[in-house]
Chains A and B, each alone.
Chain A
Amino acid sequence: MKGITRKFIRINLSNGKIEEEAIPEPVETDFIGGRGFGIHYLYRELAPETDPLGEHNKMIFVAGPLAGTNAQAVSRWMVCTRSPLTGALARSVAGADFGAWIKFAGYEFILVEGKAERPVYIHLTRDACQIQPAGELWGKDTVVTQEWLSQRHGLNTRAACIGPGGENLVKYAAIVTNRRTASRCGVGAVMGSKNLKAIAINAERNLQLHDPEGFKQLVKQQIQMMMANKAFQHHREMGTTGNTENTNELGIFPTKNFRYGRLDDYEKLVGEEYLKHRIGDFGCYSCAARCGKVHRVTRGPYAGAQSEGPEYESIWAFSGTIENSYLEATIAADQLCDDMGIDTISTGNTIGFAYELYEKGLLTKKDTDGLELKYGNHKAMVALVGKIARREGIGDLLAEGTMRVAASIGKGAEAFAINAKGLELPAYEPRGAKSLGFNFATSNIGGSHSYGFATQEIFGALFPRKVDRFAEEENADIVVFNQNNVAVAEVGIACSFSRGWFPQVYDKLLIAATGIDKIAESGYLPRVGERIVNLERAFIVREGFGRKQDTLPQRMLSEPLHTRGAPGEGQTIRNLDKFLDRYYEIRGWTPQGIPSPEKLKELGLGYAVKDMAQSQNVKAT
């Protein structure tokens, strides 16, 4: 029996109207929270073909039902909106404290709609919500902005804000809280388009749990399990910096804009090397892992640079992309991205793309403001980061992301644009980690590793089964499993690193927090995960996406991978069509990649059937 009411706050920036709304019980039961609420409300509230940077796009800042509690690694939050980078769904996840603070304010999520006439920020407490002028903050970076808000509203303030990247509508701008980012899909640009500089929350810890005593006991169990878990211990020690050696040994560390699977002198960028620069660590709310490792540069051209990071993806973004092994440059570029509020992955990938265009003569020194984009030139790379955030010179073009840059330049540039559905690919080579590659192809947000990470082929994980990382359609079930499984974790919203730390406790924590007893039923949570992925799919089908867009960059389909001695030499994606046929069959989707009426009804999503029938994809077939 539930004893709590869950609600959200709707804030309209156009007319200043602010209201609370209760979340109906059937929605809670079907979607539980977090990402489930995000897609449920976005699907229902957003009209198809809404301009992502227009007044009518909406943003959902959502925490999970476990956020703000003592439970470990479950206080993350995310933004759901329509992406200006891809035109598809944006689901962008972040850490630090902000998720807990959303809950302390009394809400499951904050829904922002409309557009302010001039720069504003939202100030939210448990008792009040105000839209405040932010003129003096406009143009300020994310550090200054957060400091200003803390000085104005007190040290107990937690803010999610944009920097110049979001203000300048960089298509892959991020939202920053502390030094953590909701970075993918351009959610910062959506905030910028609304003239919304920040959401600042002041609130004391104040939570309602369905079963507080039971929850307390479960947290004790959870902590005991984590302390006895080797993966947790390693993560606490190294964060993700240890992955560079692994992926280079596997031949899946994308190098020179995804032409090679190994960086020649990657040993200069392994975890032990970053350890030499480490000055501290940072943890998200109620997480003992403290996996954010803080690094400082003390000498050389980047002396003084300091960043919470780079973590694995950002290490790659500023090394493999341009064949750079000067570690200090990765710290400087990472810091600059976080200060300016732009996504490290898309930034690094786009810069790597620009270097290849330069190599091929499609960009010249005249185009690049005099910068020499020769592989290994890390100074030009760091300069480009700032130019992109400010949309200065060549940065104005690169701020559009690889898909639009390629379309703008033409002359075959598309062949070197490494994205899926317009979202730049991250730090894993699809030809050498094919389940992950096919996840990039089929993900409803585009080229995201975290949408369906394949631990089986990257780390040898045993669950649900072992996989051959070069197999294709044989692993379609694994891609489906991983995507659904991530969706389950993100109703929590549990950290993606934590999934193996406390598997037996997660669902019990959800029950104790929400009172949704059905979670205990066998197969219930996997079904919720499947429901979320299907509704997300329906969302992008409604926007015109289908089989044609479920693809990988031309390079992966036609050029053999070169691994410089690592395994996987000569691999390509052999038969994408065969994979898609099998994947859609398992999903219960049509051969065009559209959820079938039967599948939608089976998942309680019958309301989407009509939309699918009206979609362009169906009309086209």
Chain B
Amino acid sequence: MSVQIDIPPLLRHLTDGATTAKVKGSTVGDCLNHFVGQYPRTKKLLFDKDGKLLRYVEVYVNKVTTYPEETAAPVNDGDEISIVYVIAGG
């Protein structure tokens, strides 16, 4: 099963400039872990030290938020995962 992750601006310097990645998994958590396996330096900007999704990271599947299920949310073949930083600034 193939899922695409859209890599947000904040992570691209940690993915050698790649803007998308192909990952595998049946949940958002599986897919993100597969992604981190490909680009280990992204881990600090996705998960806290206990392995939980950072509190300011929101994950969308096909532009629909997965909150509050988040990493437990299911994904299907062909889905697109987007990562948004829900930080406020200014």
A-to-B contact residues, CB < 8 Å: 228-231, 233-235, 237-240, 242-243, 246-247, 249-251, 291, 312-313, 426-428, 449-450, 453, 457-462, 466, 469, 496-497, 500, 566-567
30 contacts between A and B (CB under 8 A): A228-B68, A230-B68, A230-B86, A231-B58, A234-B55, A234-B87, A238-B56, A239-B88, A240-B87, A240-B89, A242-B87, A243-B87, A243-B88, A251-B13, A426-B90, A427-B89, A449-B90, A453-B90, A458-B89, A459-B10, A459-B84, A460-B8, A460-B9, A460-B10, A460-B83, A461-B84, A469-B9, A496-B90, A500-B86, A567-B13
Q: What is the CA–CA distance of A235 and B65 in the complex, to the nearest angstrom?
A: 17
Chain B residues within an 8 Å CB radius of A242: 56, 87-88
Asked whether, in the complex, the Cβ of A240 is within 8 Å of the Cβ of B9, the reply is no
Q: What is the CA–CA distance of A237 and B88 in the complex, to the nearest angstrom?
A: 11
Asked whether, in the complex, the Cβ of A567 is within 8 Å of the Cβ of B58, the reply is no
Q: What is the CA–CA distance of A242 and B87 in the complex, to the nearest angstrom?
A: 6
B85 within 8 A of A: yes
- Besides A231-B58, A246-B89, A427-B90, 18 other A-B contacts (C-beta < 8 A): A230-B58, A230-B68, A231-B86, A234-B86, A240-B87, A246-B10, A291-B88, A313-B90, A427-B89, A449-B90, A453-B90, A459-B10, A459-B84, A459-B85, A460-B82, A460-B83, A461-B84, A462-B60
Chain A residues within an 8 Å CB radius of B67: 228-230
- With contact pairs A230-B58, A234-B56, A460-B83 given, residues A249 and B88 touching in the complex (Cβ less than 8 Å): no
Q: What is the CA–CA distance of A240 and B86 in the complex, to the nearest angstrom?
A: 10
B52 within 8 A of A: no
* Interface hub of B45, B67, B87 (most chain A Cβ within 10 A): B87
B1-22: CB near A (< 8 Å → 1, else 0) gives 0000010111011000000000
B5 to chain A, nearest CB (A): 12
Q: Could you tell me which residues of chain B, from 19 to 74, have a CB within 8 Å of some CB in chain A?
A: 45, 55-56, 58, 60, 63, 65, 67-68
Q: Report, nearest first, the 7 A-B pairs whose CB atoms are least far apart.
A: A460-B8, A243-B89, A231-B86, A567-B13, A230-B67, A459-B85, A312-B89
Residue of B12, B65, B82 near A230 (CB, 8 A) is: B65
Q: What is the CA–CA distance of A197 and B90 in the complex, to the nearest angstrom?
A: 28
Asked whether, in the complex, the Cβ of B90 is within 8 Å of the Cβ of A459, the reply is no
Chain A residues within an 8 Å CB radius of B58: 230-231
- The SS class assigned to the B binding surface is mixed
Q: What is the CA–CA distance of A458 and B86 in the complex, to the nearest angstrom?
A: 10
Residue of B nearest to A449 (CB): B90
Asked whether, in the complex, the Cβ of B86 is within 8 Å of the Cβ of A249, the reply is no
- With contact pairs A230-B58, A237-B55, A249-B10 given, residues A462 and B88 touching in the complex (Cβ less than 8 Å): no
A598 to chain B, nearest CB (A): 34
Residue of B9, B56, B82 near A462 (CB, 8 A) is: B82
Asked whether, in the complex, the Cβ of A249 is within 8 Å of the Cβ of B45, the reply is yes
A425 to chain B, nearest CB (A): 12
Q: What is the CA–CA distance of A344 and B31 in the complex, to the nearest angstrom?
A: 43
Q: What is the CA–CA distance of A63 and B65 in the complex, to the nearest angstrom?
A: 33
**Chain B interface residue bracket vs A:** 20 to 34
Chain A residues within an 8 Å CB radius of B83: 460
Residue of A nearest to B65 (CB): A230
Residue of A nearest to B19 (CB): A468
Q: What is the CA–CA distance of A16 and B24 in the complex, to the nearest angstrom?
A: 73
* Interface hub of B13, B63, B84, B89 (most chain A Cβ within 10 A): B89
B9 to chain A, nearest CB (A): 5
Residue of A nearest to B56 (CB): A234
- With contact pairs A228-B68, A242-B56 given, residues A459 and B86 touching in the complex (Cβ less than 8 Å): yes
Residue of A nearest to B57 (CB): A230
Residue of B6, B63, B85 near A246 (CB, 8 A) is: B85
* Interface hub of A246, A449, A459, A460 (most chain B Cβ within 10 A): A460
Asked whether, in the complex, the Cβ of A460 is within 8 Å of the Cβ of B89, the reply is no
Residue of A nearest to B86 (CB): A231
Residue of B9, B55, B82, B86 near A250 (CB, 8 A) is: B9
B82 to chain A, nearest CB (A): 6
Chain B residues within an 8 Å CB radius of A458: 9, 89
Asked whether, in the complex, the Cβ of A450 is within 8 Å of the Cβ of B90, the reply is yes
Q: What is the CA–CA distance of A567 and B10 in the complex, to the nearest angstrom?
A: 9
Residue of A247, A461, A466 near B89 (CB, 8 A) is: A247
Q: What is the CA–CA distance of A497 and B87 in the complex, to the nearest angstrom?
A: 9
A309 to chain B, nearest CB (A): 13
Residue of B nearest to A498 (CB): B88
Q: What is the CA–CA distance of A221 and B11 in the complex, to the nearest angstrom?
A: 34
Residue of A nearest to B60 (CB): A462
A452 to chain B, nearest CB (A): 11
Q: What is the CA–CA distance of A353 and B87 in the complex, to the nearest angstrom?
A: 28
Q: What is the CA–CA distance of A192 and B83 in the complex, to the nearest angstrom?
A: 47
Residue of B nearest to A457 (CB): B9
Residue of A nearest to B70 (CB): A230
Chain A residues within an 8 Å CB radius of B10: 246, 249-250, 459-460
- With contact pairs A230-B58, A566-B13 given, residues A462 and B63 touching in the complex (Cβ less than 8 Å): yes
Chain B residues within an 8 Å CB radius of A453: 90
A54 to chain B, nearest CB (A): 32
Chain A residues within an 8 Å CB radius of B88: 231, 234-235, 239-240, 242-243, 291, 312, 497
A245 to chain B, nearest CB (A): 8
Chain B residues within an 8 Å CB radius of A450: 90
Q: What is the CA–CA distance of A313 and B6 in the complex, to the nearest angstrom?
A: 29
Residue of A nearest to B83 (CB): A460
Chain B residues within an 8 Å CB radius of A313: 89-90
Q: What is the CA–CA distance of A282 and B87 in the complex, to the nearest angstrom?
A: 18
Chain A residues within an 8 Å CB radius of B13: 251, 566-567
* Interface hub of B8, B60, B88, B90 (most chain A Cβ within 10 A): B88
Residue of B12, B55, B84 near A567 (CB, 8 A) is: B12
Chain B residues within an 8 Å CB radius of A239: 88
Q: What is the CA–CA distance of A593 and B82 in the complex, to the nearest angstrom?
A: 36
A198 to chain B, nearest CB (A): 27
Chain A residues within an 8 Å CB radius of B8: 459-460
B32 to chain A, nearest CB (A): 15
Chain A residues within an 8 Å CB radius of B45: 249
B66 to chain A, nearest CB (A): 9
